[in-house]
Amino acid sequence: MTNTNVELLVAQDTDEQAAWAAQVVLEAARETVGGFSLALSGGSTPRLFHQQLAHLDRETMPWERVIIFFSDERAVGPDHPDSNYRMARETLLSAAPIAPNHIHRILADKADLEEAARDYEATLKHRTNGSGVVDLIVLGIGSDGHTASLFPSHPQPPPGRLVAAVPMSPTAPLTARVTMTYEAIAMAKRVLFLVSGADKATRLEQALQHPGDLPVQRILSDRTRTTIIIADALASATLTNRRQSS
């Protein structure tokens, strides 16, 4: 493993993965004094995790202190099937007692995507007392090694930016996007990767075993704070096989 701050947990299945992920968030929230900022990701993997998280009651989870951000968003409306916000609303935000003014959607459906990125960066800084440091960012890994909306084939976001516009995605859905940058992710107090499916096994092994230029490799190399990866059995199969044969 290239980064000693990375903790890999291998779950038997996606149900166990989701339960462990909810526990990571719970522990982080209870350790944080004041507002607890949580940035959610899109895709299919977080659905079960969101549902597990939503079931935590007020006595267990300090919902009144939770502030929701998003790691990235597609340039679609909040009710569009491709919207990360819509998925989070259906699986978590409508079920958990989070104050509406604590939920910050990326307005990536605005005509001016760059303006949307700058506005979200301003909101992020405002809600984190000017620092831009998120307490916990949840991310996934694409089969091409992308994470959030940071893609291998794209130029680097402008230096110093925490949120940037992405003119077009090379993977489906082929929409423009707004994303947190490498710098924002590197600064976060904690990052939690959820990785599931056999199609992620090669990239996960690559990210953990080798430095490189893929977005997920760069993030693991850049971060000096805690990073937790919870992978299911399929996504970690190559790693498990190597450990068993070594």
190-209 per-position pLDDT tens digit: 999 999 999 999 999 999 98
Say if residue 3's pLDDT is above 80: no
Q: Average of pLDDT values for 127-137?
A: 97
Q: Is residue 246's pLDDT more than 60?
A: no
Residues in the chain: 246
Do the domain assignments include residue 140?
yes
Per the domain annotation, does 22 fall within a domain? yes
Q: What is the CATH number of the domain that holds 57?
A: 3.40.50.1360
Q: Is residue 188 situated within a structural domain? A: no
Strand order in the sheet with 177-180: 72-74, 177-180, 163-166
| pLDDT score, position 4 | 60
Note the pLDDT of residue 243.
42
Q: Evaluate whether residue 187 is within a structural domain.
A: no
What pLDDT, on a 0 to 100 scale, did the predictor assign at position 245?
33
pLDDT score for 169: 75
**Predicted pLDDT of residue 242:** 45
Q: Are the C-beta atoms of residues 124 and 161 closer than 8 Å to each other?
A: no
Q: What is the pLDDT of residue 244?
A: 38
User: Across the chain, where does the E strand assignment appear?
Assistant: 6-10, 36-40, 66-70, 72-74, 136-139, 163-166, 177-180, 190-195, 226-231
Domain containing residue 84: 11-181+194-222+232-245
Quote the tokens at residue 104: 């910050």
Q: What is the mean pLDDT of residues 124-128?
A: 97
**Residue 183 pLDDT > 90:** yes
pLDDT bracket for residue 11 (50, 70, 90): very high
Within-domain flag for 23: yes
| Residue 5 falls inside a structural domain | no
Q: For residue 157, name the pLDDT band (cuts at 50, 70, 90).
A: confident
**Mean per-residue pLDDT for 52-72?**
95
Domain count, the chain: 1
User: What's the chain's average pLDDT?
Assistant: 92
